[in-house]
Structure 1
Amino acid sequence: MKKILLATALVALSTGLAAAQDVVRLGTEGAYPPFNFINDAGEVAGFERDVGDELCKRAELKCEWVTNEWDSIIPNLQSGNYDVIIAGMSITDEREEVIDFSQNYFPPAASAYVALSADADLKGTVAAQISTIQAGYVAESGATVLEFATPDESVAAVRNGEATAVFADKDFLAPIVAESNGELMFVGDEVQLGGGVGLGLRESDTELKAKFNTAIQSMKDDGSLNALIEKHFGPETAKF
């Protein structure tokens, strides 16, 4: 019991110091373009790299980037491996039970199905990335959800016949469909899920959250956030 109490106290102490430390560590997946990916130089790139760097500049914070697999991205925030999740994470009530969120820096957007044929059975086996709101939606839809660690694996499951369709953010799927030369296509209806994409933070880091909220709002107010959304997702993507 003493060891448990000591460990709990140490975690509480370390997580409460994020806003005051010299470097704020930004945790991302690095495998979800155009939100985030690893470029040819081995560096984090994409929409969230541009947004994160600008937010840190406006908040006068020194930041560094850390990559982490999606399925453990929340536990590793809680354990102190980094201070902020910036990884295309939708704001949901379920996630807000365990972490806190900034205001959204990407508006609520559509999720969509992609398949090899227009008559694909969306109540069959549908692929989705594990621990996403899309995986939860598929599970509740009556279909059989086939979960994968990465979004690319969920798309590959459709191509190799493991799944009848994949369900994911439309903004992630759109360039894949466009580059498939007609092999893949959107099917079924689009679905609105979540409250947009926000920064994930530990509930104790209230000062850090306030700094980022101020920076996000300033980017919304001057139009620079919409400009980055259009740069990475195109003019037809939902903006603020």
Structure 2
Amino acid sequence: MIKTLIIDDEPLALQQLAAYVSKVPFLTLVGECQSALEARDIINSERVDAIFIDINMPDLNGMDFVRSLVAPPLVVFTTAYSEYAIDGYKVNAVDYLLKPFSLDDFRRAALRVKERYEHANTPLSLPTEPEPELTDENIFLKTEHKVVRVKIADIRYIEGMSEYLKVHIIDQPRPIIMLLAMKRMEERLPSNFLRIHRSYIVNMNHVQEVTKNRIVMDADTYLPIGDMYKEALNNYLADKYLGR
């Protein structure tokens, strides 16, 4: 099931969205919010896979809210203003629903969400997909039209971005971007690399601090911890830390 959060400052619009979600079998409603600030609290406290969010809202509009998220869920914007469509796709929105929209319109958007969700959470099976080649100390990653050798110990963390991965390396200002499923990468890395979120794998050797809901890599980099990954992280830490 795709855990879905709906956000709209208009009660009637929120009621309609809730009714539509209930009619799509692969969506499950985890919350209804009338502001982006309220939605942020839910996203920070529990797993949310997708959001249907209005753009024009007081305090913080939907577009700015999505831009502010470290690891945004899959996003479908809902609004009465068609001029926002291009801006919506600039933030990698899955779809854009122009009000008033029908149940059929909503279902089409929901199917796009399902397709993107399954793509991000299922290993790719394309025969042309490059697999990283693992040696004792190095991994070979295909990016653009070349293959780059990377020292495994120098990988700080890996960020999922739809069907692409961003591999963040020590002392490199720009990550390596490659086409590969997150699960495939996770399976080929050593045990000090942990999946902490559906969008993040971290090299625990480069972690500075672990709090209840996030991992601190450095003064400027904070990564969220997803609920479904907390147990594995806690088990790893239990074998490593000293103290009560």
Q: Same fold (TM over 0.5)?
A: no
Normalising by the smaller structure, the TM-score range is under 0.3
Q: Which has the larger radius of gyration?
A: 2
Q: TM-score, normalised by structure 2?
A: 0.24
TM-score, normalised via structure 1 length: 0.25
Name the one with the larger strand percent. Answer: 2
Q: Give the structure, 1 or 2, with the largest relative contact order (CA under 8 Å, sep 6 or more).
A: 1
